[in-house]
Structure 1
Amino acid sequence: MAADSTPLIISQADSAESDINTLPCLEKRLPSLDSNIERCIGDFGWSQFIQSIFVSMAWIFDAQQTFISIFTDAHPTWHCTTRLGDESCNSVSNICHLPKNSWSWDWPNHISIISDWSLECTSSIVTGLPASSFFMGCLVGGFVLASLADSSLGRKNMLFLSCLMMSLSSMLTVFSANIWIYSALRFLCGFFRSTIGTCALVLATELVGKSWRGQVGVIGFFCFTLGFLSLPAMAYMNRGSSWRSLYLWTSIPALFYTILVHFFVRESPRWLFVRGREVEAMATLRSIASFNPSTSSTRDFSRSVSLDPQETGNPNLYSAFKILLQKRWAFRRLSAVMVIGFGVGLVYYGMPLGLGNLKFNLYLSVTFNALSELPSSLFTFFLIGKLNRKSSVLVFTTISGVCSILCVLKGNVWIRLQIALELVSFFSACTAFNILLIFTIEMFPTCVRNSAMSLVRQALVLGGVLCPMLVAVGREYGFASYGVFGIVIGCCGMFAVCLPETRGRALCDTMEEEEHAEVSSLDHAKALVISW
């Protein structure tokens, strides 16, 4: 899309003229940083498209590390090797109660950590430890690393560091000698993976205009689906090989991608301006606009944006968290989206991990779940501009909750419908996940946006921490997994009614702008009520 040829900076004369007979409110001031950047580089051009695609590819490797334990930590199938006199060895026997020489694994021992380290009779807490350790690492890493993207490192450098360390820790997992070392390395992988999705989403959306923000955000969800979908394919091709080879297949491409990020991805010009690094910001804008020859020569890039120092909100390390907690409106919004995020995360991460509990082929069920993310992303891509954020989150969390509860009902009819209900529940959770992340981006200003996004992601991951344990218990008590999933996401989704609608709004850059936008929306709502 062609960019507006209006210079990025409004002259002092224009500024003075615009101040005449105006009220001291933000919408009467100079155009916002959001609109100024759009005037400079356009709403959405080829350079922004390529950057958004490249940044969003990080989600592919994020998805692979998130769900890789479905195959590496799976309970392998087994068969009887001898026919005992009392015929006690059969397909429903507990192998922990059978003589070791009476049964054998269907595949070589090294295909899973369970058979490789003889964990078949170990407690569910121990066998679920690696998956829980990964999500616990995500939880801790989100709190430790989240604010760095808003403060000192920025979006690009944080993305580079996270991808690099995630791929290296995943590669080191190949050398694990026991489940304790393996769990520790999974914790490290989750720790550094925690900010990848957040940084990629925020960086991609800050490079484009508001009318394309939702669609660009969905590109990352498509890439996450591709990463998830690649796992059953790689696992099937390596079904007779060691579980360690699956970590190599995912970590080496991620390492090469990290190198490309360092050389080809640009930092967010919006973040650079807010941090006061105007020279770098102008260089980035000039580079982006250079892809449009018809306008690049008409712009004056020698001048910088004049932001009020009191408005930049320029937070230091972890001060973004303090700002979010101090502002009453910000804390209210953050609390509501984190509660919703917890419920969505429990289902989003728990459903795939619990597929082994269903009477269905594991490779096919994981493939179907991964494929269900594709229509979810397409749905979000084409309709995000028309969807109200609040009502959409409420509807999809409710549908997901109802279908998840129905998955545990007994009877021949429900057994036939079980996988279909599971897919509908997962599709609804995926769609709620997508909309919730875009909703969060639109609710918080640039100076704290990445930190707010990270906290919401932490709430999602907290659900991921708990779901492996629920899945393990659900092997004996079905309601403990899918039943609990449904109740939690249904109740948490109700908190959407506490949030403001953000569809069609411009992104704010400072806390003051966002406060004023909220006051204006409340005044408008009161005026409508009075007029009615």
Structure 2
Amino acid sequence: MDQHPEKNPLLVLPTTNDETKNRTNRSLDDTIEVWLGRFSWAQFLQATLANLAWVFDAHQTFITVFTDLVPTWHCNDTSSSLCNNVCELPKEAWAWDAPPQTSVVSEWGLQCAGAVITGLPATSYFLGCLVGGLALSTFADASIGRKKMLAFSCLVMNVAAVLTAAAPNVWVYSSLRFLTGFARATIGTCALVLSTEIVGRRWRGQVGIIGFVCFTFGFLSLPGMAYFNSGSSWRYLYLWTGIPGIIYSVIVYLVAPESPRWLYVRGKIQDFVETIKTLAPPETRNTIFLDNQDQVLELDEQMDLYSALKVLISKGWALRRLLTVTWVALGIGLVYYGIPLGVGEMPLNLYLSTTLNAVSELPASLVTLLLIDKLKRRGWVAGLGVVSGVCNLGCVVFVGEELKAVQIGLEIVAFFTACTAFNILLIYTLELFPTCVRNSAVAMARQAMVVGGAISPLLVALGRENRFYSYGVFGLASVLCCLFLVSLPETLGRDLCDTIDEEESKENGNRV
């Protein structure tokens, strides 16, 4: 296969005699628009297949809500004055309300081990996400590609989940949760970028939202699976979520197409043509062939493993955009992970409260899906972030039992707006960066959200004494972070760039 893209032509587009004279001005985006601009069933099915990875991502992100819970217990002697503290009772004086194997805490006797030990598996998972995001984020932009990276990450994540079911103690369990988070770090990014790069500009917003809807359905399905597993070992829940994920990974590797944009940028021209033929509508795919004229796309030098990250740091405009979107993602991440932890303290059973948290994400995904092609990215992310921040600050002001309904209403609005803001932010981020570094940039934005998720439990714990340290900080962070978006350009309806030079030309043109 030819590895010198500068010697390869673009595809022939249907042209008139006058248009033939202007062929040399054609860009890769023009080619994608002509052949893939019309949304086909093939594109829909392949985009949906890629985005189903979000379902398994949601399972592993929230599974510890059920496997690591502290079960309820009772005293065998109800007259004892020590019945309020299980750690002060002899073992024969109390018992769990459910079989010990229903939770890692009860099975391994961690109820008195302290918050650091009981929270270690969840902390390990998010730490794995952070390390994995830094270590793996550029692989999909380099030699591996979007599809293979998606299949590999999903496979390792779910194999680790299946192995977790055999963990003999909390230390092995936490190590496997770290590995699960490490592999999980790039799944959402690869699925989002792959699905949006196989469609034209008109449809990339709607296709991107498919992943968010899949994540919500994954979150929603988990309480149901846990409910039917109640009374049984927590290990079964890891098997029920991990085994289907392994099967899915194999299907993606065998069936899903690679991104045509990535194939062209990497010089895999013949594969690029075959992928375009596979995705194009039936009435046009047989007319696609290579042009024999000397028409080329000027490409940047081939990217090695970490050159994508180097480019993002060395280019002033790229670094400014990257710092801004990661800063905004950090603020939104605090709200996204922090509010469910606070709402989880409501007097509802575990399955119902988790379901309500998941259900509140669904309207955000649907609203974004219906309106994404009309929403100006920069203004809406900033506006939603400010609204979320104001509602969080309202939760500090409206306290007391008589205002509980107002507080819950503000929490719901804050979470809804934060979810919608982050959905739009991811679409905005992939439109801000060219193909050669797009996956890395989106991965950095998602990692910043994970950092927010790692910080939010501490803030929620501090907020039990003073609500300002939880909801107050959430609100201030959301407002202050989102205001930085004023420095970025708007991307609604604009062409996707594929090379650094192309993006720099557009950036310089905007300044002029």
Using structure 2 for the length normalisation, give the TM-score.
Answer: 0.92
Shift of 1:305: 8.9
Select 1:74's aligned residue among 63, 69, 93: 69
> Aligned runs of 1:500-519 on 2, under 5 Å?
500-519=489-508
Choose from 246, 260, 280 the match for 1:255.
246
Point out the more displaced range, 265-274 or 67-76. Answer: 67-76
1:8 aligns with 2:12: yes
Task: Give structure 1 stretches of 5+ with no counterpart.
Answer: 1-5, 20-28, 524-532
SS in 2 for 1:366: helix
Name 1:402's counterpart in structure 2: 390
Deviation digits for residues 105-157 of structure 1 (CA, Å, limit 9, x no counterpart): 22122222222222222222222221111111111111111111001100000
The change in CA–CA distance for 1:102 and 1:303 in structure 2 (over 3 A counts) is: farther
| Greater alpha carbon shift after TM alignment, 353-362 vs 212-221 | 353-362
Confirm whether residue 463 of structure 1 aligns to residue 467 of structure 2. Answer: no
Report what 1:56 is aligned to. 51
CA offset digits 1:266-320 (Å, max 9, x no partner): 001110000111011111112223x51x2233333465994345x3343111000
C-alpha offsets along residues 491-515 of structure 1, whole Å, 9 cap, x if unaligned?
Answer: 2222222221111111011111111
2:6 is matched with none
Deviation at 1:197, TM superposition (A): 0.3
Query: How far did 1:389 drift?
Result: 1.1
Cα distance per residue 1:69-126 (max 9 Å; x no partner):
11111222223331236x453xxx3333445444332212222222222222222222
User: Residue 117 in 1 paired to residue 121 in 2?
Assistant: no
Q: List per-residue Cα deviations over 1:293-350 (Å, max 9, x = no partner).
A: x2233333465994345x3343111000010111001000100100111111222223
Alignment of 1:160-239 (within 5 A): 160-239=151-230
After superposition, residues 277-296 of structure 1 pair within 5 angstroms as 277-289=268-280, 291-292=281-282, 294-296=283-285
TM-score normalized by the length of structure 1: 0.89
Shift of 1:476: 5.6
Asked if the contact 1:70–1:352 (Cα under 8 Å) also holds between the matched residues in 2, the reply is no
- Match for residue 345 of structure 2? 357
Within 5 A, what are the aligned runs for 1:422-461? 422-461=411-450
1:198 maps to amino acid: T
Superposition pairs for residues 4-43 of structure 1, below 5 Å?
A: 8=12, 17-18=21-22, 30-43=25-38
Q: Counterpart in 1 of 2:330?
A: 342
Residues 128 and 468 of structure 1 are in contact (CA less than 8 Å); yes or no, is this contact kept in structure 2? no
Q: Which amino acid aligns with 2:27?
A: S
Q: Match for residue 135 of structure 2?
A: 144
**Residue type of the alignment partner of 1:470:** L
Match of 1:267 in 2: 258
- What is the distance in 2 between the residues matched to 1:263 and 1:166? 18
Contact persistence 2:189–2:446 (CA under 8 A):
yes
Q: What letter matches 1:515 in structure 2?
A: E
Partner of 1:324 in structure 2?
Answer: 312
Amino acid across the alignment from 1:56:
N
Q: CA contact under 8 A between 2:216 and 2:361: conserved in structure 1? A: yes
Contact 1:376 1:427 in 2 (8 A): yes
Aligned partners of 2:447 and 2:293: how far apart in 1? 36
Quick one: percent identity of the two aligned structures?
A: 52
CA distance in 1, matches of 2:14, 2:502: 19
Please state if 1:386 is matched with 2:374.
Answer: yes
- Which secondary structure state, in structure 1, belongs to the residue aligned with residue 74 of structure 2? strand
| Deviation digits for residues 350-394 of structure 1 (CA, Å, limit 9, x no counterpart) | 333444433333211211111111110111011111111112111
- The CA deviation string for residues 232-263 of structure 1, in whole angstroms up to 9 with x for no partner, is 11111112111111111110110110111111
* TM-aligned CA distance change 1:447 to 1:80, over 3 Å: same
User: Which stretch shifts more, 248-257 or 487-496?
Assistant: 487-496
Secondary structure of the residue that 1:503 maps to in structure 2? Answer: coil
Deviation at 1:45, TM superposition (A): 1.1
1:149-181, Cα deviation, whole Å (9 max, x unpaired): 001100000011001100100111111122111
CA contact (8 A) 1:15 1:30 kept: no
Alpha carbons 1:313, 1:447 under 8 Å: kept:
no
Whether the aligned pair in 2 keeps the contact of 1:8 and 1:39 (CA below 8 Å) is: no
State the one-letter code of the partner of 2:150: L
**Preserved CA contact (<8 Å) 2:273 2:289:** no
Larger deviation, residues 30-39 vs 411-420: 411-420
Q: Which amino acid aligns with 1:176?
A: A
| Residue identity in the other structure for 2:73 | W
CA contact (8 A) 1:7 1:40 kept: no
CA distance in 2: counterparts of 1:316 and 1:181, whole angstroms: 34
Q: Distance in 2 between matches of 1:153 and 1:7?
A: 24
Letter in 1 for 2:367: F
Q: How many residues align?
A: 501
SS in 2 for 1:104: strand
Amino acid at match of 1:30: N
Residue 407 of structure 1: how far off its partner (Å): 3.8
Corresponding position of 2:3: none
Task: Give the secondary structure class of the aligned counterpart of 1:147.
Answer: coil
Quick check: 1:234–1:246 contact (8 Å CA) kept in 2?
Answer: yes
Please tell me whether the aligned partners of residues 198 and 279 of structure 2 are also in contact (alpha carbons under 8 angstroms): no
Q: What is the distance in 2 between the residues matched to 1:413 and 1:304?
A: 76
